[in-house]
Amino acid sequence: MDYELTPGKAPVLVSGDVHFWLTIDGRVQHYVVSHEALEDHFGDTHGAAGDGIAAFNRGRDAICRVAAAKLGSASVMDSGEFIVVGTFDL
């Protein structure tokens, strides 16, 4: 499976969670990594925009690898709009 952060779609912080997009085998998928996951694993202790994006960047490789693996998995928590990557996924 080939994946990359979708060009032209920068990660954004929304209510403490980071929304990001991966292109997986040519298909764009919207993901959200929870504030809890960022805090537990990558040091986002303040929930501020700079800290959330910085925490995402510190864990980007692991977060993207887990996110890509969740696509098509029975364990996906799918809102219909995005797939959630939570603290227990990491």
Find the helix or strand (DSSP H, E) in which 54 lies. helix 49-70
> The pTM is what?
0.85
Q: What is the pLDDT along the chain (90 residues), one digit of tens a residue?
A: 789 999 999 999 999 899 999 999 998 999 999 999 998 898 866 655 568 898 999 999 999 999 999 887 645 555 568 899 999 999
Which domains does the chain show, CATH number per domain? Answer: 3-89 (3.30.160.140)
- Alpha-carbon gap, residue 18 to 31, rounded angstroms: 8
